[in-house]
Chains A and B, each alone.
Chain A
Amino acid sequence: EAEVAQSPRYKITEKSQAVAFWCDPISGHATLYWYRQILGQGPELLVQFQDESVVDDSQLPKDRFSAERLKGVDSTLKIQPAELGDSAMYLCASSGMGRDYYEQYFGPGTRLTVT
């Protein structure tokens, strides 16, 4: 069964360092989402791509966060510099077309700890 892949699964970094996360959506899924999930809370959308274009990045802290999906397939989320408050689970999800557009498939996430 096709799944959303994410790496790394865990990342520990010191504050002020740069960190990057990678996501490979389900093959054929045009829409890709990055979420941040703080411990004890539900996921919050950071950025959404439709193919290679950003559709919504209104909640992305653009002074330190960036995201790209250059070829409309896999995507990278970067934080530079990392801050203590960035410690969280970063989830990637993808969705297809038609009825499947409203059904998001999630990856296992990257758990980031900033020390």
Chain B
Amino acid sequence: AQTVTQSQPEMSVQEAETVTLSCTYDTSESDYYLFWYKQPPSRQMILVIRQEAYKQQNATENRFSVNFQKAAKSFSLKISDSQLGDAAMYFCAYRRTRSNDMRFGAGTRLTVKP
């Protein structure tokens, strides 16, 4: 079974600083997708960034980047130049290619201090 672990229930960062959220996963598959989703308070979950396992290059979306370590089964999210609007729950998710099943971690609550 595939499991996703987020070991940091809560994190905080000063505005304009950089923060890294951790995620590890367990799988025997070689072909899969990894995602980071953001869930602001009382708002819908939105996709932040996606990584295909076959790609060696780490995905980047503006201030958001990942450190994908396939052998270590690690998928961390780095947020640079943190903004107040980045405050949210962040979920790491795994999905095996051609599978229906998306597995989510328990989430990390990020607080941004002005």
Contact = CB atoms under 8 A, between A and B. Distances in A.
Interface of A: 3-4, 33, 40-45, 48, 55-56, 91, 93, 102-109
A67 B44 CA distance: 21
Contacts, number: 47
21 contacts: A3-B44, A40-B106, A40-B107, A42-B4, A42-B93, A42-B106, A43-B91, A43-B104, A44-B104, A45-B101, A45-B102, A102-B97, A103-B47, A103-B50, A104-B102, A105-B47, A106-B45, A106-B46, A107-B44, A108-B42, A108-B43
Majority SS of interface residues in chain B?
strand
Interface residues of B, number: 22
B95 interface: yes
Contacts of B37: 106
Contact of B44 (A4, A42, A48, A102): A4
Interface of B: 4, 33, 37, 42-47, 50, 91, 93, 95, 97, 100-107
A3 B42 CA distance: 15
Nearest to A4: B44
Contact of B104 (A4, A42, A48): A42
Contacts of A108: 42-44
